[in-house]
């Protein structure tokens, strides 16, 4: 028996969420006294054996190239491995791909499914884990009634731990299946940092007065290696793309540092960002609700504060 | 084309979330329930597809009788009929099974990509798996041509165009239609919704694989440390030395 973890790759490279998931699987397997098996799909540019550094004992590389839009094919291939390995617990990062394949996998394996998990199981018989609920406004302790369980791990919720371990690597040919969905074109925003995985997020709201003023937001983000985000009104008016909308009905983010510029901090916005470890707010209005939720704040005009902040961070970077 | 839209009834987005004193359930006192915002985009898109191609839009919901106002609102927005499975929606697999039983007779099965209460985001994918259908998850664009489906979805750092055939499951979000295009009920819609069919069916007694034990709220943060405007250097120092965030 082992804990199985899907080691997602994108363009052949493992993602941050993958290392979080492998670490999580290893920690949980240790508690259960079993081994950790990672499974990859498709051609890898990265070395599969490096997953041993995060606690995998064995890596099974599915050789079939299955497109990520083929959720059925991906979940079927992982299910083959889960059955072969007798895995009662499968860990998947709750990324775009993970969200699509994990529920299908749970149905295939006749397993319970719990998503947005933020901690290792507090109990193993039955499995009980803490997950996010009400779009970040609360946590739920959920219990799985089945002897098998698929857990989808919330991004940035679990720290990556390197173990200096090593993993054996084997190859596996899964059954070939015909995909019901085909990819016809991919449009990539190059150099963009994935919001879900970003360590730092710089976000701005209506206080910026217009899309032409986003230059300083992007400059600050680039300087910090951060992702850029925005509030709902800003994406609704079309100043910024929908993909940048964070909040209860947009993306949920959980970076180390969240900088909110000209965002008042409506309850719907806070729900999507309050898992951030440190929050900074810059707003002209001292009554803005965000000041009640943030860790640090500057009451002032973004058009004056942000350029000065950029300058100070540049100085800091030059000296550190 | 027969379109099924699966909808959830969720607390209004402005709701403060509190729990009963034993922390076992949501305290629904003073909470207004609405159509799950992701489902609203899907419902409007379904009605637009019906205008283009003809057919019907049915809304389906798993929940108790006091959720019926949410279904009546969907009918007022423009759905033709509604089905309510009379059961508490607690486990995603249970809900997916109940909805799949209904969905097998439809050409296009749509739902929001997640509900804003339990955020499982799993019911559409589970329906697709149970019925052996394709799925476009996080769908931001959709066109139907005969039985051909072309869709768009968000991927890490970009978007992807997809092609497939009916029947299919679509888990949608904003982009399917814009916020400003969302249909809202008008007086005529509200009047006709009263007489549109709302069929109540009993649950199939499907297995519940997960159960909620308890709820808790996130820890409160310490009060906000204010830095004088003009003193951004101090903020940078705090973020580095104290918060260890940069």
Structure confidence at residue A11 as a pLDDT band (50, 70, 90): confident
Cα B68 off chain centre by: 16
CA atoms within 13 A on the CB side of A272: 26
Which residue spans within chain B are E strands per DSSP? 2-6, 9-11, 33-35, 56-62, 81-86, 108-112, 134-145, 148-155, 158-165, 168-172, 198-202, 210-216, 225-227
| Residue B8 DSSP SS3 | coil
Sequence length of chain B is 246
Interchain CB contact of A71 with B (< 8 Å): yes
A149 and A244 part of one domain:
no
Residue A103 sits in the same domain as residue A247: no
**Same domain for A240 and A104:** no
> What CATH number should be reported for the domain holding residue A45?
3.40.50.620
A108: in domain:
yes
Of A172, A190, A216, the position where a domain reaches its end is A172
- Residue A100 covered by a domain: yes
Residue range B234-243: mean pLDDT, rounded: 97
Regarding whether A155 and A238 lie in a shared domain, the answer is: no
Residue in chain A nearest B236 by alpha carbon:
A313
In angstroms, rounded to a whole number, what is the distance separating the alpha carbons of residues B15 and A62? 45
The answer, yes or no, to whether residue A191 has pLDDT greater than 70, is no
A36 and A90 inside one domain: yes
pLDDT of B229 > 90? The answer is yes
Give B-chain residues touching A145 at CB under 8 angstroms. 208-211
Q: Which of A228, A219, A240 is nearest to A193 (CA)?
A: A228
Q: How many domains does chain A have?
A: 2
Residues 49-108, chain B, touching A (beta carbon < 8 A) = 91-93, 96
Residue A188 located in a structural domain: no
Q: Do B230 and A308 touch (CB under 8 A)?
A: yes
Query: Is A122 part of the contact surface with chain B (CB cutoff 8 Å)?
Result: no
Domain boundaries, chain B: 2-218
Q: Are residues A245 and A285 in the same domain?
A: yes
Compare A81 and A2 and report the one with higher pLDDT.
A81
Q: Cα–Cα distance between A151 and A109 in angstroms, integer? A: 13
Count Cα neighbours of B54 within 13 Å in the Cβ-side half-sphere: 1
A140 touches chain B (CB under 8 A): yes
Q: Per-residue pLDDT tens for A64-74?
A: 999 999 999 99
Of A86, A4, A16, the closest CA to residue A46 belongs to A16
Q: Report chain A residues whose CB lies below 8 A from the CB of B147.
A: none
Ranges A187-196, A298-307, B35-44, B185-194: which has the least confidence: A187-196
Residues A75 and A157 grouped into a single domain: yes
Instruction: Tell me whether B240 touches chain A (CB under 8 Å).
Output: yes
Same domain, A15 and A150: yes
H or E segment to which residue A127 belongs:
strand A127-133
- B2-218 fold: Rossmann fold (3.40.50)
- Residue A160 lies inside a defined structural domain of this protein: yes
Average pLDDT, integer, range A279-308: 97
CATH number for A240: 3.40.50.1220
Quick check: A102 contacting B, CB < 8 Å?
A: yes
Is A190 a member of any domain?
no
**Tokens of residue B225, six digits:** 């440390």
Chain A residues with CB under 8 Å of B208 CB are 145
Sequential DSSP letters for B157-211: TEEEEEEEESSEEEEE-TTSS-GGG-----HHHHHHHTTS-EEEEE---PPP-EE
For residue A186, the tally of other CB atoms under 10 A from its CB is 12
Confirm or reject contact between A58 and chain B (CB < 8 A).
Answer: no
What does the mean pLDDT of chain A come to?
Answer: 95
| Least confident range of A103-117, A187-201, B36-50, B129-143 | A187-201
Contact B125 A245 (CB under 8 A): no
- Measured between CB atoms, which of A107, A112, A281 is closest to B210? A112
Q: Which residues, at least 6 apart from B197, have a Cβ–Cβ distance to it below 8 Å?
A: B81, B82
Mean pLDDT over B83-101 rounds to 96
Percentage of chain A surpassing pLDDT 70?
Answer: 99
Helix (H) or strand (E) holding A117: strand A112-117
- Tell me if A88 is assigned to some domain: yes
Query: Are A39 and A167 part of one and the same domain?
Result: yes
Q: A221 lies in which domain range?
A: 200-319
Are β-strands A138-144 and A13-14 bridged in parallel, bridged antiparallel, or unpaired?
unpaired
ipTM of this complex prediction, to 2 decimal places: 0.95
Of B117, B216, B224, the CB nearest to A294: B224
User: Which residues lie below 8 Å from residue A154, measured CB to CB, with a gap of 6+?
Assistant: A94, A116, A117, A118, A131, A132, A252, A254, A275
Neighbouring CB atoms inside 10 A of A122's CB total 12
Within a domain: residue A189?
no
Evaluate if residue A190 carries a pLDDT over 70: no
pLDDT digits (tens, 9 = 90+) for A193-210: 888 889 999 999 999 999
Cross-chain residue pair A277–B245, CB shorter than 8 Å: yes
Residues A147 and A245 in one domain: no
Among A295, A302, A309, A314, the residue to mutate for chain B (most B Cβ within 10 A): A295
Asked, for residue A181, whether it belongs to a domain, the answer is no
The reply to whether A212 and A297 lie within a common domain is yes
State pLDDT tens for residues B35-69.
999 999 999 999 999 999 999 999 999 999 999 99
pLDDT band at A270 (very low <50, low <70, confident <90, very high): very high
| Whole-angstrom distance, CA of residue B166 vs CA of residue A199 | 40
């Amino acid at each position: 028996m082992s804990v199985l973890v899907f080691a997602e790759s994108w363009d052949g490279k493992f993602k941050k969420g993958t290392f979080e998931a492998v670490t999580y699987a290893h920690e949980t397997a240790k508690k259960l006294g079993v081994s950790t098996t990672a499974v990859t799909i498709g051609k890898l540019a990265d070395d599969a054996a490096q997953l041993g550094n995060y606690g995998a004992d064995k890596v099974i590389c599915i050789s079939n190239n299955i497109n990520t839009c083929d959720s059925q094919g991906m979940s079927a291939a992982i299910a083959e491995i889960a059955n072969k390995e007798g895995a009662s617990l499968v860990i998947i990062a709750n990324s775009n791909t993970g969200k699509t394949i994990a529920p299908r996998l749970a149905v295939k394996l006749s397993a319970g499914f719990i998503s947005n998990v933020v901690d290792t199981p507090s109990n193993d018989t039955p499995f009980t884990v803490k997950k996010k609920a009400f779009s970040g406004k609360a946590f739920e302790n959920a219990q799985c009634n089945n002897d098998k369980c698929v857990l989808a791990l919330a991004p940035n919720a679990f720290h990556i731990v390197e173990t200096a371990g090593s993993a054996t690597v084997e190859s596996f040919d899964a059954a070939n299946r015909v995909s019901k969905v085909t990819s016809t074109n991919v449009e990539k925003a190059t150099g963009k940092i994935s919001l879900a995985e970003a360590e730092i997020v710089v976000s701005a709201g209506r206080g910026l007065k217009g899309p032409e003023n986003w230059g300083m937001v992007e400059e600050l983000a680039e300087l910090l290696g951060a992702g850029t985000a925005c509030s709902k009104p800003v994406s609704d008016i079309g100043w910024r793309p929908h993909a940048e909308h964070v909040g209860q009905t947009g993306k949920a983010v959980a970076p180390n540092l969240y900088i909110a510029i000209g965002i008042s901090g409506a309850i719907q916005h806070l729900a999507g960002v309050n898992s951030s470890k440190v929050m900074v707010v810059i707003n002209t209005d001292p009554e803005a609700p965000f000041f009640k939720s943030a860790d640090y704040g500057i009451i002032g005009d973004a058009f004056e504060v942000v350029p000065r902040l950029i300058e100070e961070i540049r100085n800091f970077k030059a000296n550190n | 084309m027969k379109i099924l839209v699966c909808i959830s009834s969720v607390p209004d987005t402005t709701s403060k979330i509190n729990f009963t004193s034993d922390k076992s359930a949501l305290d629904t006192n003073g909470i207004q329930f609405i159509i799950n915002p992701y489902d609203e985009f899907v419902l409007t898109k379904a009605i637009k597809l019906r205008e283009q191609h003809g057919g019907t839009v049915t809304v389906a919901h798993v929940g108790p009788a006091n959720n019926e106002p949410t279904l009546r609102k969907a009918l007022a927005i423009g759905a033709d009929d509604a089905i309510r499975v009379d059961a508490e929606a607690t486990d995603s697999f249970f809900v997916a099974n109940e909805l799949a039983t209904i969905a097998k007779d439809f050409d296009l099965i749509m739902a929001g990509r997640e509900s804003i209460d339990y955020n499982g985001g799993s019911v559409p994918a589970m329906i697709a798996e149970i019925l052996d259908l394709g799925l476009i998850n996080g769908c931001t664009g959709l066109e139907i041509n005969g039985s051909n489906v072309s869709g768009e979805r968000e991927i890490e750092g970009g978007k992807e165009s997809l092609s497939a055939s009916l029947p299919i499951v679509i888990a949608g979000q904003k982009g399917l239609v814009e916020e400003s295009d969302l249909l809202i009920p008008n007086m005529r819609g509200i009047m006709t919704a009263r007489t549109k069919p709302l069929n109540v069916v009993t649950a199939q007694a499907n297995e519940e694989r997960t159960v909620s034990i308890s709820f808790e709220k996130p820890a409160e943060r310490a009060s906000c440390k204010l830095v004088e405007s003009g003193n951004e250097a101090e903020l940078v120092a705090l973020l580095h030395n104290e918060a260890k965030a940069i």
